Structure 1
C-alpha cells in the first residue's frame, strides 16, 4: 500500500501544495488537473493563472537539480517520474502567443522580500501627550 505524498509546485513566487493518495497510480496529468483546480479556487486573481484551463497549458519539471530541470511526461506515474514526498516541482504556463514561460522559482529570500511589499500600513511613531510637554 502506497502512502500519500505532497508536492510543492512552484512558479515564480507562487507555491501550491498538492497531495496525492497513490503516487504509484496517479500520473503527471492527474497532478496537472489538481493544479488547475487549485488555481481556479485561489482567492488572489493571477491573470496568467486564470487563463489556464487545460493540462496542455502547463508544463511541470522535476526540480531536484535546479540547473537542469527535467520535464515530466504526462503519461508517467508520479513514482515512475522520480518524484518523492515534499519535492519541489517547477511549473510554467503557455503564454497567449503559444510559447512557454522560462522555468523560474524565486529564491526564498526574494520571496520574503516580496512579502514585505504587500499593502500593509506603515508603522508610524505616535506620541500622545497629556497636557503641556516639558522642555
Structure 2
C-alpha cells in the first residue's frame, strides 16, 4: 500500500514543500514538474526561479549526506531513488550561460535569523498629544 510523502526541496534560503501520493510510481521528473508549478505560483519574484520553465533547467540532489550530495535521475521513481518522507532535496538551476549553480542550502540558524528580521516590528516613536503643543 502506497502512502503519501512530502519532500523539502531547498535552494539557498528557499524551501518548497512538495507532496506525492505514490512515491513508488512518481518519478523525479514528476517532482521537477511540481516544483516548476510551485515556482510559477510564488508571490515573491525570484528572477532566476521565474526563468525556470522546463525540468531540464533543474537539477536535484539527495541531500542526506551534505558532504557529497547524490544526483537524482529523472527516470527513477522517488522510492527507487532512496527518498523518504520529509527528505531534504537540494535544488540548483541552470544559469543563462548553461552552467549549473553550486549546491548551497543556507544553514538553519541563518535562515531563522532572516525570518526573525522580517517578523520584527519597526520601532516607531509615538507621541500622543491633544491640541497644540506648548513652547
- TM-score of the alignment, normalized to the shorter chain, above 0.5: yes
Q: Flag the 1:82–1:127 CA change in 2: closer, same or farther, 3 A.
A: same
| 1:126 to partner: Cα distance | 3.6
When structure 1 is superposed on structure 2, of 111-120 and 56-65 the one drifting more is 111-120
Q: Secondary structure at the match of 1:117?
A: helix
Q: Which structure 1 residue ranges, 4+ long, deviate > 6 Å from structure 2?
A: 129-135
The separation in 2 between residues aligned to 1:65 and 1:133, in whole angstroms, is 66
Q: Flag the 1:133–1:53 CA change in 2: closer, same or farther, 3 A.
A: closer
Equivalenced residues, count = 135
| 1:132 to partner: Cα distance | 13
The separation in 1 between residues aligned to 2:2 and 2:116, in whole angstroms, is 40
Deviation per residue, 1:66-124 (Å, 9 max, x gap): 11100100000000000000010000000000000000000011112222444965213
Where does the alignment leave 5 or more consecutive residues of structure 2 unmatched? Answer: none
The 5-angstrom pairing of residues 7-26 of structure 1 reads: 7-26=7-26
The separation in 1 between residues aligned to 2:2 and 2:126, in whole angstroms, is 58
